[in-house]
Structure formats: C-alpha cells, structure tokens
C-alpha cells in the first residue's frame, strides 16, 4: 500500500494549474445514462474515483473512450441497470447512477454506497424523492431496488440539504412527465455544474444556483459537449499548503468565485489574496493568525476544507475554534495531527486548536480523503520527515499531488 513521504520546511512558490472538480465530474459522467447519444466531458481529472465510476458505467453497457482529460461516453443501450457492491463499496458517489437508471430504464438495482468513514450519510432522501416521483423502492440485503412504470413530476422537499440527493433527483426529474420542484436543494457549485450540463443536453431547468430547482420533464435528452468546472477543494488545499509554509503561489485554471468563504478565512489568517477571472494568488505572512471555522452547506465554509484549516491553526498565532456541523465523525485527523505535536482539544463537534511554534515529523495515517489532505498540509510545515500511510484516500480526490507539490518546491515522494 502506497505511502507519502514529506520533508517539511520548504517555502512553496510558483504556479500550477487546478484540475477538474471530482465532485462535479462524477454526476456529470452519470448523466450519460440519460441519453442514447454521445456525451463528451472535458476537464475530467485522473482519479481513482473516476476510474471506479467509469468501470461501473462500462459494466452497464456504456461505451467509453478517454483521451487525456476528455471522456466520451455513449449509453446507446444499457444492458444491466445494476451497480454491484464490489464496484460501489469504495465510493459513495456511485449512488448517483440510481436516478438516471430509474428515469431511463424504469428500474435499477444499486448497492448501498461506501466511501469515506466520516459518519452516517444515509440515502433515505434519495429514496423518498424517487418514491414521490412515482417509483416503488425497497431495500433488501444491502441493495436498493427501484422500479416504476414512468416517473411523474412532484414537489420534493428533502428533510435536509443533500448534495448527492439533489443531484440524483435532478437527473431523474429531467425525464419525468410534468414539472418537478426541488425545494431545500443543495446550492453547491458542483450541483449547478451538473444542472448546466443537463441543460446542454436538452433539459429544462430553472433556479440553477438557488435552493429551489424547477424541472420541466422532457421526453428525451440528447448528446452534448461539456467542460467540468475547476476543483474548488483542490484549489483551497494548495492555497493552504502555501499559507502554512509562508509561501507565495498562483493557481491557474481556477474558479475563485466558487471559493469565497475559504478565501475570506485565508485573508483573515493574514494572507494576501488576489484573484482574476480564472486564477487566484496567495502570499502568506511570516506567521498565520488562528481563525475560527464553522462548516455549513454552500455558500458557507465547506466541510471538505475543515481538516486543512485545522492544520493551519496548529501553527498559527493564538487559538482557533473549529465547529463541524455537516458530519459527526470528521475529527479523526486531529489525533494524527497531535502525533506531529499539535495542541488540539476535542469536545463533540468542536475542536479548539492552540497554535504551537513547531511541528515534528512522524508517521501518521490518513483516515479519509480530506483528512489526508490536512495531514499533507501539516507535514509541509513539520520539521523532518513525515510518512503518511493509506494515501489511497488522497488518490481518490487529488490528481498527481506529489507532482504538483514538487513543482512548488516541496520535498515529496511516493513510497510504493
């Protein structure tokens, strides 16, 4: 199992491009199931989760061609509307095939999803929404079984804001008869990116970017070409990497407008931020100031950046309070940061981080995708070498991370 070795102390500097957003690419690739015609998706990152999803789609009968960051998919005939456990267990986003399969094939058998161990993320909102659209759904032996004579539009009001739930129901509603209104919809930029792709395929969607989506069903969708948005979480992670090392970097092919809450916190920590239409630059102070963070659905502070900011606070001046409101089990990285010398106290969903003057390299273990990114950020500041184990989590969400960090001057190597 691969490990990552990082020798801390280098001040990051330079310019690198941002990859396509994984959390936008995955639902957009699933949208290929909604049409017989080709869907060409540009700016798709090379990631383990993308490979897993493409293998799942191919198993269903989708013809797939990949040339660099461009993936061409054609689901002319879906031979098996089933997502088996062996392909679903490692990635929660595989649940996103459920809505398109029910809408187009009128049936689906999808394993309950896996993914990161960061708390309960039930799929009941997906199931309730599909039932409201006219599907019969039952869960047996770890599988969701859904059938319908044909979906019909309905008013959907999820009990909580759910990104994948909004995406699944949005895709299903595109081929439902009549009008569907999704209230309390997730407003994340990745949801809007999917909606724009669906519109390019012929869907009729109003309210994109708001918490109320109105979808007028159409008989069929057609092929399209669409470019995936830049990855805002990757952008934020590299900005944090530069900030903790006192560095100065510029990220190209970025979308700073999707990252306003993170940029505001970096500025509060003492960083100088500059932005353009497709780039963002950061210059860090000699020492960061501790900041308080409260995670919230978009446009609030993203939970996927919580671990990286906890890492920043470990060496900042003062103390920062971090409140996690999205997931109940997302402080597992705190124990690993303590192994590096961090001063962190946990009380339920709140962490109090008091900055120290130095961290020391040690062997630590990644527990989930974003926790591993937080450990990378801290390791860049720690004195000596840090070994991060179980970095398959990193490979699920960060494209060529050691190459990109190396281009900025970090001493990073993969141990196979």
Please identify every residue annotated as catalytic: 116
Residue 273 marked as a ligand binder:
no
Cβ-contact 3, 401 below 8 angstroms: no
Q: What's the half-sphere exposure (Cβ side, CA atoms, 13 Å) at 277?
A: 0
Burial string for 399-416 (b: 16+ CB within 10 Å, else e) reads bebbebbeebbbebeeee
Residue 249 marked as a ligand binder:
no
Burial string for 98-137 (b: 16+ CB within 10 Å, else e) reads bbbbbbbbbbbbbbbbebbebeeeebebbbbbbebbbbeb
Residue 343 marked as a ligand binder:
no
Residue 395 marked as a ligand binder:
no
Residue 123 marked as a ligand binder:
yes
What secondary structure letter does DSSP report for 272?
Answer: E
Reading the block at residue 356, the tokens are 């120290």
Distance CA 59, CA 143 (A): 17
Reading the block at residue 346, the tokens are 């946990």
Distance CA 146, CA 101 (A): 9
Cβ-contact 369, 18 below 8 angstroms: no
Residue 304 marked as a ligand binder:
yes
Helix (H/G/I), strand (E/B), else coil: 304 = helix
Residue 125 marked as a ligand binder:
yes
| Binding region for UDP-N-acetyl-alpha-D-glucosamine | 92, 121-125, 304, 326
| Binding region for phosphoenolpyruvate | 22-23
| Binding region | 22-23, 92, 121-125, 304, 326
């Amino acid at each position: 199992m691969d490990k990552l070795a990082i020798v801390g102390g280098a001040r990051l500097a330079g310019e690198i491009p941002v990859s396509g957003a994984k959390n936008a690419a995955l639902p957009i690739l699933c949208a290929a199931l909604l049409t017989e015609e080709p869907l060409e998706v540009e700016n798709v990152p090379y990631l383990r989760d993308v490979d897993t999803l493409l293998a799942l789609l191919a198993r269903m009968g989708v013809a797939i061609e990949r040339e660099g960051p461009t993936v061409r998919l054609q689901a002319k005939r879906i031979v098996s509307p089933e997502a088996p456990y062996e392909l679903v267990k490692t990635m929660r986003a595989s649940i996103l095939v459920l809505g398109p399969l029910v809408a187009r094939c009128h049936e689906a058998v999808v394993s309950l999803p896996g993914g990161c161990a960061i708390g309960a993320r039930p799929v009941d909102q997906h199931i309730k929404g599909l039932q409201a659209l006219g599907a019969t759904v039952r869960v047996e032996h770890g599988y969701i079984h859904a059938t319908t004579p044909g979906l019909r539009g309905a008013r959907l009001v999820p009990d909580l804001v759910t990104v994948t739930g909004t995406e699944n129901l949005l895709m299903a509603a595109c081929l439902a008869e009549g009008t569907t209104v999704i209230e309390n919809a997730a407003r994340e930029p990745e949801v809007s990116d999917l909606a724009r792709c669906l519109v390019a395929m012929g869907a009729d969607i109003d309210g994109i970017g708001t918490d109320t989506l109105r979808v007028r069903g159409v008989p069929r969708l057609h092929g399209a070409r669409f470019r995936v948005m830049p990855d805002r979480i990757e952008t934020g992670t590299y900005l944090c990497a530069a900030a903790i090392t006192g560095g100065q970097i510029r990220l190209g092919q970025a979308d700073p407008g999707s990252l306003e809450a993170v940029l505001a916190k970096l500025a509060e920590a003492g960083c100088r931020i500059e932005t353009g239409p497709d780039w963002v630059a950061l210059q860090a102070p000699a020492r960061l100031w501790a900041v308080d963070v409260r995670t919230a659905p978009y446009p609030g502070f993203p939970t996927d950046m919580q671990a990286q900011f906890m890492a920043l606070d470990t060496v900042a001046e003062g103390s920062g309070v971090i409140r996690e409101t999205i997931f109940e089990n997302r402080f597992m990285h705190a124990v690993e940061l303590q192994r590096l010398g961090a001063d962190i106290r946990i009380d339920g969903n709140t962490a109090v981080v008091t900055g120290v003057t130095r961290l020391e390299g040690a062997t630590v273990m990644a527990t989930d995708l974003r926790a591993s990114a937080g450990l990378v950020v801290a390791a860049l500041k720690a004195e000596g070498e840090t070994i991060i184990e179980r970095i398959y989590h990193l490979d699920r969400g960060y494209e060529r991370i050691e190459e990109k960090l190396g281009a900025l001057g970090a001493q990073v190597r993969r141990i196979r």
